[in-house]
Amino acid sequence: MTYYAQVQDAVEFIKRRAPQPDVAIVLGSGLGDFASRLRDATVLPYGDLPHWPASNVVGHDGRLVVGTLAGKTVAALSGRVHFYEGHDLRTVTFATRVIASLGVRTLILTNAAGGVNTALTPGTLMVIDDHINFLGTNPLVGSNEDRWGARFPDMTEIYSARLRAIADEAAKEQTVPIGHGVYIAVHGPSYETPAEIRAFRTLGADAVGMSTVPEAIVARHMGLEVLGISCISNAAAGVLPQPLNHNEVMEVARRVRGAFASLLEAIIARL
């Protein structure tokens, strides 16, 4: 079965079990609780979805939840797979292809990220204005599927200026402090070295993580409007005199998930 056919297979499976979503949200490490806010929800474990890769990282539940929130039908992806798990980028972005093929036109990508810019302290929510792809490859490498998008898609405004303005309005209404910045994606799974962080700062990065960028590229390839939000879960290597660990990432995500959920709901209400 071709990759295109696998995506369509998953699309038809979901269509038979859940309503048509208006917007989709990918929930990053420790942020999966947002899915519990959806009402009249249909819950589809990733293991039940045809060809859908399993999520095996702590903090990623591994289920697709489709329900209503703020007058919209929302598809929440509680967990994602990562390049560092050994998947190729076609597998990493399979869910994005399916969501776009379901007819979703707005995608909100969230993640937990390290703060490269020292002004972004742990617990800060950062709207992604742009990104740097430091993965060493691109999810569009290989033959192009013309039914999905152009061979050479434009990435001038990969993160929608309109959606970023909506996020600012929602944050002001909810009195949730947010920042803006550039996200750099690295391969992982090891955390970065202090020297790498200094280099990334010189390149103009404000936050660093191991996801989001492949999904954003594929979403734009398929014509979706994209919003990215990082939860700054830790100071990047060398910023503080202490080692990094995933438990810290999870703890900070738990601490801010209430404010994060309120912000997401206010954004969805404005779409």
- In the residue annotation, 36 being an active-site residue is answered as no
Residues forming a β-bridge with 208: 114, 184
- In the residue annotation, 84 being an active-site residue is answered as yes
Determine how many CB atoms are found less than 10 A away from the CB of residue 247: 9
User: Which residue in 10, 18, 24, 29 is the catalytic one?
Assistant: 29
Measure CA of the first residue to CA of the last residue in the chain; give whole Å.
Answer: 36
Q: Would you say 162 and 105 are in contact if contact means Cβ atoms under 8 Å apart?
A: no
Structure tokens at 178: 């947010």
User: Which residue in 55, 111, 211, 262 is the catalytic one?
Assistant: 211
User: Which residue in 78, 111, 234, 262 is the catalytic one?
Assistant: 234
User: Which residue in 75, 78, 82, 183 is the catalytic one?
Assistant: 82
Q: Would you say 79 and 46 are in contact if contact means Cβ atoms under 8 Å apart?
A: yes
User: Which residue in 112, 216, 235, 237 is the catalytic one?
Assistant: 112
- In the residue annotation, 143 being an active-site residue is answered as no
User: Which residue in 210, 219, 222, 259 is the catalytic one?
Assistant: 210
User: Which residue in 60, 76, 215, 266 is the catalytic one?
Assistant: 60
What is the C-alpha to C-alpha distance for residues 220 and 163, in angstroms, rounded to an integer? Answer: 14
- In the residue annotation, 180 being an active-site residue is answered as no
What is the C-alpha to C-alpha distance for residues 213 and 228, in angstroms, rounded to an integer? Answer: 9
User: Which residue in 51, 87, 180, 246 is the catalytic one?
Assistant: 246
- In the residue annotation, 265 being an active-site residue is answered as no
- In the residue annotation, 233 being an active-site residue is answered as no
What is the C-alpha to C-alpha distance for residues 184 and 203, in angstroms, rounded to an integer? Answer: 9
User: Which residue in 3, 51, 84, 250 is the catalytic one?
Assistant: 84
Q: Would you say 198 and 238 are in contact if contact means Cβ atoms under 8 Å apart?
A: yes
- In the residue annotation, 219 being an active-site residue is answered as no
- In the residue annotation, 210 being an active-site residue is answered as yes
Write out the catalytic residue numbers: 29, 60, 82, 84-85, 112, 210-211, 234, 246
